């Protein structure tokens, strides 16, 4: 075979391999790119807050004990409280419960498990509250923002319903026990309030949720707190990469324990139970441990 023809064939093969690698890497990074776009949308919405009343910090990586880190999408240090915001750019319908380890994303005919963002944000708040031990725990508000979800069905021990859904219009907000209320679909533009410090909303509801609250901090305190956070925050690419690796390792460890029938929270035995929506897995130490997950996690 002519040397030029051989070189041409090898060049074409090399180009095809390069193109294949580029496509594979592009597809692998779609989730990260989508997540970043969602965070940018939320960051833009938070710019509407009055600057004298709020300081917004985006993508904050905080060190935690034993070399671990906690990555927080957004922190709003406001005169109305400290809002710790977890952003999720997930399409379709999301279902889950307050205490379950995983929620389910329903997209077309496919489903996949995602880590419960409420639990994820609790870890973020613990990391942040350690920096300010003198602050009341009620000052930290957990907010989970869905930028693209069409429907969300969340069950909880107590949910604060909107006034329009209550028989007595004079009552602004009240607790309704899960046993006595009907499950409702949440659509974009609405909000779910699990308690006064835990809110699930869409992008449009963030600023409204922050500004509706009473002032609890002085303006002079805001810049000091923001400076304290920025002082300890990690900014290196290596730290971010280590955080991602640790998060994946932790996720694999939790899944392995579940598959072994061990509760990842308290070490108790996992047992199958039957509920209104079919079989699920729970810890034998209920109600002291409220861990739950789907039976699919056992396989």
Is position 116 within any domain?
yes
Instruction: Report the C-alpha gap between 290 and 282 in whole angstroms.
Output: 7
Question: Residue 270: inside a domain, yes or no?
Answer: no
Of how many residues is the chain composed? 299
CA distance 145 to 88: 6
**Whole-number percent of the chain with pLDDT over 70:** 82
For residues 282 and 262, what is the distance between their CA atoms, to the nearest angstrom? 10
For the beta carbon of residue 220, count every other beta carbon within 10 angstroms.
Answer: 7
- Higher-confidence position of 124 and 252: 124
In sequence order, the 6+-apart residues with CB closer than 8 A to the CB of 93 are 105, 106, 107, 149, 150, 151, 152, 153
Q: What is the DSSP letter of 100?
A: B
Given a contact cutoff of 8 angstroms between Cβ atoms, the answer to whether 85 and 73 are in contact is yes
Q: Supply 205's token pair.
A: 């509801």
Q: How confident is the model at residue 13 (pLDDT cuts 50, 70, 90)?
A: confident
Instruction: Name the domain count of the chain.
Output: 1
In-domain check, residue 202: yes
Residue 292, strand partner residues: 100, 282
In a domain, 244, yes or no: no
- Tokens representing 128 are 């942040």
Query: Which H/E stretch holds residue 176?
Result: strand 174-177
Asked if residue 95 belongs to a domain, the reply is yes
- What does the pLDDT look like over 101-120, one tens digit per residue? 888 888 888 888 888 999 99
- Please give the DSSP secondary-structure letter assigned to residue 135: S
Task: Classify residue 250: in a domain, yes or no.
Answer: no
Q: Name which of 137, 101, 133, 138 is nearest 117 in CA terms.
A: 101
Higher pLDDT, 57 or 19: 57
Residue 70, domain member (yes or no): yes
Domain that holds residue 82: 33-235
Half-sphere exposure of 279 (CA within 13 A, CB side): 7
pLDDT at 299: 66
Q: What is the dihedral of CA 274, 277, 282, 285, to 10 degrees?
A: -70
Question: How many other CB atoms are there within 10 angstroms of residue 290's CB atom?
Answer: 16
Q: List, for residues 40-81, the tens digit of each pLDDT value.
A: 999 999 999 988 899 999 999 998 877 788 999 999 999 999
Residue 251 lies in a domain: no
């Amino acid at each position: 075979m002519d040397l030029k023809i051989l070189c041409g064939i090898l060049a074409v093969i090399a180009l095809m391999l390069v193109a294949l690698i580029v496509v594979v890497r592009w597809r692998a990074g779609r989730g990260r790119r989508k997540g970043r776009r969602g965070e940018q949308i939320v960051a833009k919405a938070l710019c509407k807050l009055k600057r004298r009343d709020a300081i917004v910090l985006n993508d904050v990586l905080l060190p935690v004990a034993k070399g671990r880190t906690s990555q927080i999408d957004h922190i709003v240090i406001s005169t109305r409280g400290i809002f710790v915001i977890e952003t999720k750019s997930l399409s379709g319908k999301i279902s889950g419960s307050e205490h379950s380890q995983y929620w389910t994303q329903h997209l077309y005919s496919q489903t996949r498990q995602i880590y419960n963002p409420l639990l994820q944000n609790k870890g973020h708040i613990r990391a942040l509250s350690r920096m300010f031990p003198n602050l009341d725990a009620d000052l930290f508000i957990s907010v989970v923002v869905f930028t693209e979800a069409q429907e969300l069905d969340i069950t909880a021990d107590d949910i604060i319903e909107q006034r329009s859904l209550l028989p007595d219009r004079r009552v602004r907000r009240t607790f309704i026990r899960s046993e006595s209320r009907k499950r409702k679909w949440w659509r974009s533009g609405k909000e779910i309030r699990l308690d006064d410090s835990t809110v699930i909303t869409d992008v449009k509801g963030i600023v409204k949720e922050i500004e509706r609250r009473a002032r609890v901090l002085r303006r002079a305190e805001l810049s000091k707190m923001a400076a304290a956070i920025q002082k300890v925050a990690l900014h290196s690419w290596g730290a971010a990469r280590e955080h991602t690796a640790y998060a994946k390792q932790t996720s694999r460890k939790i899944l392995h324990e579940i598959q072994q029938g061990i509760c990842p929270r308290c070490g108790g035995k996992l047992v199958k139970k039957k509920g209104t929506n079919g079989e699920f897995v729970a810890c034998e130490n209920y109600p002291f441990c409220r861990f739950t997950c789907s039976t699919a996690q056992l396989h």
